[in-house]
Amino acid sequence: MNNSITDENFDTEINSTDKFVLVDFFATWCEPCTMLGPIIEKVAEQFKEKVVLVKANVDKFPKTAQKFEVESIPKVVLFKNGKAINGFVGLIPEKAIKNWLENIIKQ
């Protein structure tokens, strides 16, 4: 999977794996986004057998952000088989993100 998402390849990329795809919608000017980024990366690494992390800069990929109704950032959306199945908005603690992912993956 290519972790460089663009408006043009987004759908192809999230459909190119049988793993969950965790998409981090962010902007470089967003302070909560810069704080969440390393947390999401760490959690994704811990779940790397089941989860692929993709980062989507909303300033560079506005069509994708609009398609998934990204009105507030950071916004994290979890996809499976190309479909958005769950997500959250805002800066949340690492433990909460781990619990959230564990609960979804178990289902």
Out of 30, 52, 53, 97, the active site residue is 30
CB atoms within 10 A of CB 49: 7
φ and ψ of 30, to 5 deg: -90, 110
Task: Give me the catalytic one of 5, 14, 22, 33.
Answer: 33
Q: How much is the pTM?
A: 0.89
Q: What is the pLDDT of residue 4?
A: 61
pLDDT tens digits for 19-57? 999 999 999 999 999 999 999 999 999 999 999 999 999
Task: Please report the pLDDT score of residue 2 as a whole number.
Answer: 45
Mean pLDDT of the chain: 90
74 Rama class: left (phi>0) / alpha (psi -120 to 50) / beta: beta
Report pLDDT for 7.
Answer: 79
User: What pLDDT score was predicted for residue 1?
Assistant: 45
Give the number of other Cβ atoms within 10 Å of residue 70's Cβ.
Answer: 22
Q: Is 33 a catalytic residue?
A: yes
CATH number of 10-106: 3.40.30.10
